[in-house]
Chain A
Amino acid sequence: MTKARPDRADLGAGLAVLGLGGVAVWQALAIPTSPLYAQVGPKLVPWLVAAGLLVLGALLTAAALRGGWSADIPEIAEAPPPNPRSLALLLAGLLANLVLIGPLGFTLAATVQFTLVAAAFGSRAYLRNAVIAFVVALGAYTLFVKLLGVNIGAGLVEGLVFGTPE
């Protein structure tokens, strides 16, 4: 069972968990000591969780150094190779939504996101996708605003259709 060669990727995962434990320690240190009368203060559980993450991270790192676990799992070993282009397109879609939803409103941001995500999965019918997204997003917006009175991010298009909020 013991393999001499460390698994680089698994090592990264183990170190990431150790890092998470580090973040937990940092934030646990930042919790002010509560002067309130309480038998167990606000710090105990955060410290327990931080300690748990550090121990688990150390165990995972050790496992990675002894050859890792990914190679033994058929689902991972047989997975198709990474596709950086698709992933980049999808991440671009998420980023576009984050950046655009404030200034342009929900409908336009959702349209851009939908088109980019569909492209990530290989759909090249950009215009058709954009039209589908636009109609669906505007429909959802209408439902929320008109039926429930909940505003889900008005912007350019919403302003044209329903009147400007100003």
Chain B
Amino acid sequence: MDAIAGLSMGFANALSLSNLGWALLGCFLGTAIGVLPGLGPALTIALLLPITFSVSATGAFILFCGIFYGAMYGGSTTSILLNTPGESGSIITALEGAKMARNGRAGPALATSAIGSFVAGTVGTLGIAFLGPVIVELALKLGPAEYFSLMVLCFVTVSAVLGGSALRGLTSLFFGLLLGLVGIDLQTGQPRLTFGVPELLDGVNVVLVAVALFAVGETLYLAWRHVEGKAEVLPVGRIMMSRSDWKRSFWPWIRGAGLGFPFGVMPAGGTEMPTMLSYYAERKLAPPEAQKEFGTTGAIEGVAGPEAANNAAAAGVLVPMLTLGLPTSATAAIMLSAFQSYGIQPGPMLFTTQGELVWTLIASLFIANVMLVVLNLPLVGLWARILKIPQPQLYAGILIFATIGTYGISNSVVDLVLLYGIGIIAMFMRRFDFPVAPVVIGMILGPMAEQAMRQALTISQGDWSTFVTRPASLVILLVAVAALLGPKLYGAWLRRMAG
């Protein structure tokens, strides 16, 4: 069956009343859990798994995919409004998004993220339908050596978030690397930096750290510098995107989606790397007047790009699951077990044996995407109104919210101590102008880079040249060098031409 015929059959099935109902329920639930930090789509789907006993396979998967896509939308909402990312893919969104919200541009930030998610979700779903199987074959050629080179590329691009001072930015990055080391070493089973606390053996959760650094740290700092009697009300500003907002968002959406999808398809790709690379790219490509907004009043490009990258990557994750039966994220692993509980084995044969189910699923992804943007755009005004809550109740509420996300899942006071402890550190970091974003980035990239490097070296029996003798790895490293030196050489060349 070719893709067009498959899709039209899928749409015919998906547009039935009950399937639309499942999609709507999924979108709603997904948005709700995406909003809460700590509650991800993987956990929600796992807890809803028992419904596979009473609901048809098609209905259940439409629901699950709605939750999956919805969570990506919801995660960015709190990133922008409350500076509390709901999941790791929307941490980068918080960088510019929260600054825009603080400067009366919450509406456009939410709108560009919703429309960007829609654009990227659509691009990603088209990718699943038409390109998926091809890309996944290519992605399988990447081994630990290539992944390590990709991390190097990401580390190079981190300079975009290092802030004004390289010294303080690097210190933040190293603090993040240190936090990333906590826990049992995957390759040798040795505990590292755990101070003998058993709760630390599994490492520190990156979403917890992001919430601590962004939300708890900011709340503490504001209280520390609180002026009695001065009630600060944040401006809500205009809700709609202006003409220039549209113009400035368009290419970042496209670039973000193009960057995100292949990363999602990669077995060890994930949503974090493409959001970082997109942020870097948009920051470098933005016109000079927009570049001034990065890190100060918030640039819309810095929301549009990473948000699109996040959603396209999320769609990409479904490709190896559907075509190879390879679960590359926690959510995909849970969905795979749901397939199995229906006696369906995803894999190369799925498109032939379960063609109807797969195409209905893909059609439902399109429908869920439309539903989400239709649901979310009118809500932008309502969400932005959250900022009108008076400061005392707003910040008190944010802290409760952070507690739910942290304590709710783990039932561990140690996690709360970490949340508040890192929050206090973040307060001092703000006082001394240390940027907080590099901490999170070091924490995400550090462990991935270290493990990939050691996996590659074990495979090559200790031969370090593996990183440059494997062609794909070499190419990525050369791109990294170009990203590092390119802008400088270009600048020097420009000066030379001018002088």
Contacts and interface: CB of A to CB of B under 8 A. Distances in A.
Given A42-B192, A87-B220, A121-B392, A152 B404 contact: yes
B432 interface: yes
A10 interface: yes
B167 A39 contact: no
Contacts of A97: 403, 416
Contacts of A108: none
Contacts of B462: 39
Interface string B179-219: 00100010111111101000000000000000000000001
A110 B400 contact: yes
A122 interface: yes
A119 to B, nearest CB: 7
A114 B403 CA distance: 11
Given A59-B167, A114-B396, A53 B431 contact: no
Interface string B389-413: 0111101110110011001110101
Given A106-B407, A136-B397, A101 B390 contact: no
A75 interface: yes
Contacts of B407: 101, 106, 152-153
Given A98-B416, A133-B400, A70 B432 contact: yes
Interface in B403-439: 403-404, 407-409, 411, 413, 416-417, 420, 423, 428, 431-434
A102 B413 CA distance: 8
Contacts of B397: 114, 136
Interface in B30-54: 43-44, 47
B165 interface: yes
Interface in A90-124: 90-91, 93-94, 97-98, 101-102, 106, 110, 113-115, 117-123
B457 interface: yes
A148 B391 CA distance: 31
Interface stretch (B226-234, B265-273, B352-360): B226-234
A31 interface: yes
Contacts of A136: 397, 400
B224 A20 contact: no
B400 A42 contact: no
B392 A123 contact: yes
A123 to B, nearest CB: 4
A10 B432 CA distance: 7
Given A24-B178, A121-B396, A83 B223 contact: yes
B408 A118 contact: no
Nearest to A125: B392
B47 A60 contact: no
Describe A's contact surface by its main secondary structure.
helix
A49 to B, nearest CB: 5
Nearest to B449: A45
A132 B416 contact: no
A9 to B, nearest CB: 7
A4 B171 CA distance: 24
A56 B171 contact: yes
Contacts of A16: 428
Describe B's contact surface by its main secondary structure.
helix
A36 interface: yes
B450 interface: yes
Contacts of B193: 24, 27, 46
B182 to A, nearest CB: 9
Given A121-B226, A122-B229, A150 B409 contact: yes
B159 interface: no
B298 to A, nearest CB: 15
A86 B226 contact: yes
A122 B226 CA distance: 9
Contacts of A83: 223-228
Given A49-B177, A117-B392, A17 B171 contact: yes
Nearest to A51: B174
B436 to A, nearest CB: 14
Contacts of B413: 98, 101-102
21 contacts: A20-B175, A24-B178, A32-B190, A36-B188, A38-B454, A41-B188, A45-B177, A60-B171, A70-B432, A82-B224, A83-B225, A87-B226, A90-B223, A93-B399, A94-B420, A101-B403, A114-B400, A119-B392, A121-B391, A140-B400, A150-B47
Interface of B: 43-44, 47, 164-165, 167-168, 170-171, 174-175, 177-178, 181, 185, 187-193, 195, 219-220, 222-229, 231, 390-393, 395-397, 399-400, 403-404, 407-409, 411, 413, 416-417, 420, 423, 428, 431-434, 446, 450, 453-454, 457-458, 461-462
**Which 10 A-B pairs rank lowest in CB-CB distance, beginning with the nearest?**
A123-B392, A121-B392, A39-B462, A152-B408, A117-B396, A118-B392, A34-B188, A86-B226, A39-B457, A42-B185
Given A49-B446, A117-B219, A117-B223, 19 more contacts: A10-B432, A13-B432, A20-B178, A34-B189, A34-B190, A36-B187, A39-B454, A40-B457, A45-B177, A52-B170, A53-B171, A57-B171, A73-B164, A75-B433, A101-B407, A102-B413, A113-B400, A114-B399, A148-B44
